[in-house]
Amino acid sequence: MLPILLRIRPDEWFAARLEDGVPVVGVWLPCLLWAVYAAISLRLARIADEARGDGEATEVAAQRWVGLGGLAALLSLPLWIGGVLPDGFAGVPVFGYGVMIFCGFVAGGWTGLRRARRAGLPDGLVYDLTFWAFAAGIGGARLNYLMRFHERVFAAPEGRSLSLAEAAFRAVNLTDGGLVLLGGVVGAAIAFIFVCHRWRVSPLLVADVAIPSAFLGLAFGRIGCLMYGCCWGDRCELPWAIHFPEGGVTYEALVGRGFLSPDAPRTYGLHPTQLYSSFNALVLAALTAAYFPRRPRNGAVLALALLTYPPARATLEALRGDDTGFLDTGLTHAQTVAIVLFGLGLLLTAWLTWGPGEQDGSSAADGAAGTGPAGTGPARVAG
């Protein structure tokens, strides 16, 4: 487990020390990383523009990074006002889970950009989709967590009720964990529909481009689950069983459910389901990426994902130990959703096989996706 990679002191510029075994740094590190990543992004966008003879990718990338930088500065401004930081403030924690989610979006966006270019889609579409899918995915994952575990999040201290400000803070406070993958998928799907409508592109073609990237991002995300300690497995006696230390999320949950003695120095052996899930996602990422140039119709990669991921996820759920079940059905929440997704995959496969689908891969976008965002002109999507 490595839930916290480091802590950032927003009130110190040049801090660099260890506190309780956790690195503590000042503002210099996030500023440096932001500048380096923005410079690399802009340089790659400029190379792409030079190859095409326009400035679209550079303009979009610059807008994104300037906007995000301004938003970050605005949100951090209150921290510089005297008296805002509470006594004993140790710094803003940087969680391993969040870092892995970010790495997953970066890797997914980069590989998706390469596929999009081969399919004749504009770079700006990929930047838009990555940005909005990230924001909506985090929001949807948090909302799903609040819906499922609202009693835990909004539990009031004995003798009084929560104020509106306290409830609002708990709703957005991610330092105590609280993201559910399936909610993130729904949020990202809504963002996907919005971006496709805005750019007037074929949703099936964009889905085929995005699916391998989504699996790649999931592979990173499951490593983040292992670092945080969530999504743990059931009891395991195999040589590769893992143990979580005292004080971690898994340890506290097992003690709370009565499965583990409070005096135990660590958990008993558990299936490393996070690693199982990460490996499964990598395999599906490779499979769907290899199938993309060979797909007979737009939407075929999406159908393949809907037919392969749900059975794999349902099987992995049998080895999980963190979900107590769904409405006394004997199934977990994820297994229930997997059945629905698999059914949708069968319907999509039937429609692609016998319906009037887009026949010839990337070139099918020529008629269905001929323009970019409103007011920006053609989106150059012909294959």
- pLDDT of 358 above 90: no
Look at residue 81 in the predicted model and tell me its pLDDT. Answer: 47
- Among 193, 197, 119, which Cα is nearest to 361's? 119
Look at residue 71 in the predicted model and tell me its pLDDT. Answer: 61
Average pLDDT over residues 162-170: 76
- pLDDT of 65 above 70: no
Look at residue 364 in the predicted model and tell me its pLDDT. Answer: 41
Least confident of 7-16, 144-153, 167-176: 167-176
- pLDDT of 80 above 70: no
- Would you call 355 exposed, middle or buried from its count of C-beta atoms within 10 A (0-12, 13-18, 19+)? exposed
Q: Cβ contacts of residue 140 below 8 Å, gap of 6+?
A: 183, 184, 185, 186, 187, 188, 190
179, 133 in Cβ contact below 8 A?
A: no
Look at residue 76 in the predicted model and tell me its pLDDT. Answer: 58
- pLDDT of 169 above 70: yes
106/357: higher pLDDT:
106
Look at residue 248 in the predicted model and tell me its pLDDT. Answer: 85
Rounded Cα distance, 106 and 219, in Å: 13
Query: What is the tens place of the pLDDT at every residue in 179-214?
Result: 777 788 888 899 999 999 999 999 999 999 999 999
Rounded Cα distance, 46 and 57, in Å: 7
Please, what sign has the CA dihedral across residues 23, 25, 31, 36?
A: negative
- pLDDT of 131 above 90: no
Average pLDDT over residues 103-113: 90
Return the number of other C-beta atoms located less than 10 Å from residue 153's C-beta.
16
- Would you call 177 exposed, middle or buried from its count of C-beta atoms within 10 A (0-12, 13-18, 19+)? middle
Strands 4-8 vs 92-95: parallel, antiparallel or unpaired: antiparallel
Least confident of 83-97, 131-145, 226-240, 295-309: 83-97
Look at residue 64 in the predicted model and tell me its pLDDT. Answer: 66
Looking at residue 293, the DSSP 8-state letter turns out to be G
Highest mean pLDDT among 134-138, 265-269, 352-356: 265-269
380, 120 in Cβ contact below 8 A?
A: yes
Least confident of 148-157, 233-242, 270-279, 333-342: 148-157
Strand intervals (E) in 103-240: none
72/146: higher pLDDT:
146
Query: What is the tens place of the pLDDT at every residue in 324-354?
Result: 666 667 788 888 889 999 999 999 999 999 8
Tokens of 228: 């945080």
Look at residue 72 in the predicted model and tell me its pLDDT. Answer: 64
Look at residue 269 in the predicted model and tell me its pLDDT. Answer: 95
Instruction: Tell me the pLDDT band of 63, cut-offs 50, 70 and 90.
Output: low
182, 226 in Cβ contact below 8 A?
A: no
183/310: higher pLDDT:
310
Average pLDDT over residues 84-92: 67
Look at residue 177 in the predicted model and tell me its pLDDT. Answer: 61
Rounded Cα distance, 112 and 301, in Å: 13
Distances (CA, A) of 202 to 20, 193, 291: 52, 10, 19
- Among 363, 325, 48, 335, which Cα is nearest to 182's? 335
User: DSSP readout, 331-349?
Assistant: S-HHHHHHHHHHHHHHHHH
Query: What is the tens place of the pLDDT at every residue in 39-56?
Result: 777 777 777 777 767 766
Instruction: Tell me the pLDDT band of 381, cut-offs 50, 70 and 90.
Output: very low
Look at residue 207 in the predicted model and tell me its pLDDT. Answer: 95
pTM: 0.79
